[in-house]
A and B are shown apart, each in its own frame.
Chain A
């Protein structure tokens, strides 16, 4: 293993390590624009030039590999001058429109200017003008003047999505990023280009002018768009999600996430159920729990526990499902479960999975079997046949085609009792005898198990909308109202217990993700 000296600190690194990585290991930041750990290395921004003893030219730290005995200086006078020079060159034709730029606050150029340059412009001539607000794709806009031509976006489309939409047209300081003729940046991961853009050249249409980034609070969370469970920064301002941004996790999504998943945050703020209702009349939680308890007890007596069905939601967290299971077995004493959740959708061989539910494997983990729940379509038949007379449904999703779903909504009239415990309003909420508002993953904490069996925790970002509560808290209140109180105060207590059959698989959310199996 080569031994290198970085700014006087001697360290040992693996063979083939770049100077930039070796310096990072020694604790020194080398500024860079074009280098991205997931992409190839073009060494074109020249920001990472460092001095290597014995080499008469400054070396690009991102590209040059260390050799044994190499003496590297990342802070020498020459390096500092080169860094200032490169920043000055980049800023020669940069519009410096930070006040109206969405990137301001998370812009590498801004940060590096403050850290490495901070000198006045020496340019007296007119800057080069290029396209502004150019719709390079349906989700992404391009500003040619802000662009520093680092080609991260071009390389992303070549190397990550392999869709090859982007290229550089023209040359010299007239060069710009463009899609090839007749094409646009419309791959399923296009907004990632805005994420990796070190400046404000590529901006996500959805986030433009929405919120200054320094006002955002960020919470570690997991995307609920599909069963892949991409790790995200859930970024919110005043109890409202402003955007999702992928959070690095090499075991799951690397640095990326899909455009569709990115927009799923909108569900959190539309058509929410905000108050518990009994036949349309708003009640407080205490009263509604008494009512549900009363009705359920009566139903148990009249039709028997066996005819009470619980529709499980793969959209709910493991903690929610654990208490659903406990509520069914200890309180209602039924084992009649049906599988709810969203229908399958499109998929690809990268991140997007057909299963649009984040926690189907969580149901398997909690219930210890893959066949714990019957298919939803059978519920329709069972209601018809009278074998199910009470339905307790988690979430509004029905994994069936529209005709079957309509039939299900129709059949609800035959039920003695329909308790609907979900986030959103809709036909089911209107039909429900009792509707209980549930909060979204942004308003609660919990665990999802992704399609590979990796359990990932997500954190609570902000206060619940309206009077909504997490599923597990509703089950606790109901159990108490029915005289069988559960003894949990914190979600951690559920976590300790929930994967009891497989103690080795208890997991909590970490940046790396902990594989369950």
Chain B
């Protein structure tokens, strides 16, 4: 196993406390960052090829350079810690086991971008992460890393931990901003992008937890070092999650550019004995499903797109041959139906309708024309909505039908689900995690 960075403190007892964190080199990157000016930090980040770790993969340095330098109102840093994508559980580890690394990243970002206030918007259900972050923020204030005149540099930065209300849609950056403003989480129209008009109508940078947690390493070792840790256009080490009927499910750090097979076999320990891989989703439930022949695809944004899916969050869900793909599609559709904010028509009505049709097929009440109806529905939702949640149901549902059409046909032809009942119980716990 290679040298670990992001997960370096995961195995150190009490690394979530300031004392232990500092003992292992914590806050050294911050001390170095405050000797650099903002532009050179942004440059390092640009050189690092650090891509947004929330799923969209937007280059972090370029996003930072969109933030206006001068602003009449305070600029904000918002951390998207609303990790709610089914199958994804990497940010949670960073917040629970290494909260100070994240806070250090926030302070460096604030220093580089001239930001006065920061919010960490944590998914409401992650009580443990919220407690750890709050305790860490308190410690950082006491030590003078947060608050007024940080490190004697005349630089003020306040950081708040904000527990969300538990809506998946608040993981969408503008929905998150709405939630932070105290409104219901309904994404905004873009443009304007948050970097121009964001939180409280002020310029705002919204970054994923893992993205910001990687910043201290870029400062410590330089952007080029970070870029070298990955492949072309995908810099740095990254956290990957593996789940499903495999031997060692969990979160692992590896360089960008690893293949899915390596992830499964070297890190996840391979499939459980007696289980055969049938399909996998590369990065959260909103990615298209792939079959084992794509196992050698590289975990990168471009490479996954070539393979017919997307990298997403990099947390792979594996499914074995006992998994009913109709059931998976129906379960995912139900999730997006439940989480659709209801703002715009195609997603509000389409998610519910698709769920009803998929449930009917799974229950054996489907008709042959239902599959074409579903495909048509997917194309009617995709691209026509305000945010990407509509796409998030259209893309996977379409892929399940296209890749596993025979299973759908079997359900319709037989008038029931061909999979034995016992396979369903386990599925519920693995997919709906």
Residues of B in contact (CB 8 Å), total 31
Chain A interface secondary structure, helix, strand, loop or mixed? Answer: loop
1/0 contact string of B169-188 vs chain A (CB within 8 Å): 10000000000000010000
B384 engages A49 (CB within 8 Å) = yes
Q: A60-B189, A93-B349, A173-B337 are in contact. Are A43 and B342 (CB under 8 A)?
A: no
B352 engages A128 (CB within 8 Å) = yes
Cβ of A465 < 8 Å from any Cβ of B? no
In the complex, what residue of chain A is closest to B367 when comparing beta carbons?
A124
B341 engages A172 (CB within 8 Å) = yes
A89 engages B349 (CB within 8 Å) = yes
Q: Which of A43, A47, A125, A148 contacts B360 (CB 8 A)?
A: A125
A172 engages B337 (CB within 8 Å) = yes
1/0 contact string of A328-372 vs chain B (CB within 8 Å): 000000000000000000000000000000000000000000000
1/0 contact string of B329-356 vs chain A (CB within 8 Å): 0000000011111111110111111001
Q: A46-B345, A85-B346 are in contact. Are A173 and B384 (CB under 8 A)?
A: no
A171 engages B360 (CB within 8 Å) = no
List chain A residues, Cβ under 8 A from B381.
Answer: 85
List chain B residues, Cβ under 8 A from A168.
Answer: 184, 342
A170 to B373, CA, bound (A): 27
B342 engages A170 (CB within 8 Å) = yes
A149 engages B360 (CB within 8 Å) = no
A485 to B167, CA, bound (A): 80
Contact residues, B358-379 vs A (CB, 8 A): 360, 367, 373
Residues of A in contact (CB 8 Å), total 38
A173 to B334, CA, bound (A): 12
A123 engages B353 (CB within 8 Å) = yes
Cβ of B380 < 8 Å from any Cβ of A? yes
A123 to B356, CA, bound (A): 9
List chain B residues, Cβ under 8 A from A128.
Answer: 352
Q: A43-B189, A60-B189 are in contact. Are A90 and B342 (CB under 8 A)?
A: no
1/0 contact string of B370-398 vs chain A (CB within 8 Å): 00010000001101111000000000000
B201 to chain A, nearest CB (A): 13
Q: A44-B343, A44-B345 are in contact. Are A82 and B352 (CB under 8 A)?
A: no
B338 engages A92 (CB within 8 Å) = no
1/0 contact string of A28-46 vs chain B (CB within 8 Å): 0000000000000111111
List chain A residues, Cβ under 8 A from B339.
Answer: 171-172
B415 to chain A, nearest CB (A): 16
A171 engages B341 (CB within 8 Å) = yes
A58 engages B383 (CB within 8 Å) = yes
Q: Which of B169, B184, B353, B356 contacts A89 (CB 8 A)?
A: B353
List chain B residues, Cβ under 8 A from A86.
Answer: 345-346, 384
Cβ of A211 < 8 Å from any Cβ of B? no
List chain B residues, Cβ under 8 A from A172.
Answer: 337-342, 348, 351-352
In the complex, what residue of chain A is closest to B352 when comparing beta carbons?
A173
Cβ of A411 < 8 Å from any Cβ of B? no
B349 engages A122 (CB within 8 Å) = no
Cβ of A63 < 8 Å from any Cβ of B? yes
List chain A residues, Cβ under 8 A from B367.
Answer: 124
1/0 contact string of A132-155 vs chain B (CB within 8 Å): 000000000000000011000000
List chain A residues, Cβ under 8 A from B341.
Answer: 171-172
Cβ of A81 < 8 Å from any Cβ of B? yes
A148 to B337, CA, bound (A): 17
Q: A125-B360, A172-B339 are in contact. Are A46 and B349 (CB under 8 A)?
A: no
Cβ of A88 < 8 Å from any Cβ of B? yes
In the complex, what residue of chain A is closest to B359 when comparing beta carbons?
A125
A149 engages B342 (CB within 8 Å) = yes
Cβ of B357 < 8 Å from any Cβ of A? yes
A174 to B352, CA, bound (A): 10
List chain A residues, Cβ under 8 A from B338.
Answer: 172
B352 engages A149 (CB within 8 Å) = no
A87 to chain B, nearest CB (A): 9
**Residue from B338, B350, B367, B385 with most neighbouring chain A CB atoms (10 Å):** B350
Supply 5 further A-B pairs (C-beta < 8 A) apart from A168-B184, A171-B169.
A43-B189, A44-B386, A85-B381, A125-B357, A171-B167
Show 15 residue pairs from A and B whose CB-CB distance is below 8 angstroms, ordered by the A residue. A42-B189, A43-B189, A44-B345, A46-B384, A89-B348, A89-B349, A92-B352, A92-B353, A125-B353, A149-B342, A149-B343, A168-B184, A171-B167, A171-B169, A172-B351
